[in-house]
Amino acid sequence: MSFTNITGSIKEVPKPKEVKRTRFEDIQRTATKTKRVMYPISAIVGQEMMLRALILNAINPSIGGVLIRGQKGTAKSTAVRGLAEILPEIEVIGGCKYNCDPLDPEKFCWECNDKQKKGMIKIEKAPMKVVDLPVGATEDRVVGSLDIEKAVKEGVQAFEPGILANANRNLLYVDEINLLDDFVVDALLDAAAMGVNTVEREGVSVSHPANFIIVGSMNPEEGELRPQLLDRIALQVEVEGIADIEQRIEIIERRNQFNKDPQQFRRDFENEQEKLRTRIIKAKQLLGRITTTRENLRTIAQICVAFNVDGHRADIMIERTARTNAAYENRERITNEDIIEAAEMVLPHRMRKKPFEEEEFSAEQLRAVVNGTV
């Protein structure tokens, strides 16, 4: 038997260099990091009543939200999204998905209840935010999803929170609110009535706090809002294009400046933004000291009777709004002007009307009732 000698050196063949491919998920993740540059709310020209309604809700969330009705291109969405930058900070429990209030243990979610038992409550401060509810959102996206198989084995950990969880103690914004699907409207009604969102699937039930300020915007030409939801929203304001020539010119100039250099435009209005932010914080501090006299309540009751409104919700909302307006104006007592301004936002969508008749709200009649000339 013969053997063949093999001579030479053995070299390790280099492995081909791996080329890292960019996945679509990575592209999405990078894209979502782009920060949206907001138009400052203090730079909006005109539309004083809309801005006042939004600010009053920021000061006193118990007012109960606002519906903004009007034509396209009247700064409805711009105002709501711009509000996020001047909203005050709130105290939350660290790590809580539902923004639980550390001063209100009765409304803790199950996770915060568990933390409380273990003495692991950590209090943090976080800014209030505007949470968007898209018109085409699915039911699971709105109320949350529940994995039944995991729920049986693992309990509530199988619950994936939805938009209503994120909106707790924040501002929930629904653009084109009149186009919402019925199941979303029902979910909003339930949460607005109880302050709790409950998800039930095949005998498994999960609940969490869902107390939010609802802000809706709509174009009436595209259809009306369901009466049940309309009744739940405290204030309503009508916006339309501004007729004043100089103001229209100012709108064009400011928009051009913003488009040319958004950051510089924002810097130009930072002082106005800070003034508004400070004014809101001071109003929140003053709100608890505002007094409502029996004469104020009598005036409010007389207004609601004169305008033939249904129920007593309008009376309550006028009082809350008038009290908040007084705080915003740095007064400790409610005046008739506060009541008038509140009633102008509360009454128009609450007046009882006959079939085939349109609601007719008269500011002149309102002042006449308050002044006792009716």
As a whole number of angstroms, the distance between CA 139 and CA 45 comes to 37
Q: Is 36 a catalytic residue?
A: no
The CA distances from residue 88 to 59, 276, 285, in Å, are 8, 11, 11
Can you spell out the DSSP letters for 286-326?
Answer: HHTT-B--HHHHHHHHHHHHHTTBSSSHHHHHHHHHHHHHH
Helices 48-59 and 270-287 cross at an angle (nearest 10°) of: 50
Contact predicate 297/286, CB 8 Å? no
Encoded amino acid at 267, one letter: R
Strands (E), the chain: 66-70, 89-93, 123-127, 130-132, 145-146, 159-160, 171-175, 196-201, 204-209, 213-218, 235-239
Catalytic residue among 201, 226, 313, 331: 313
Q: Which residues are catalytic?
A: 313
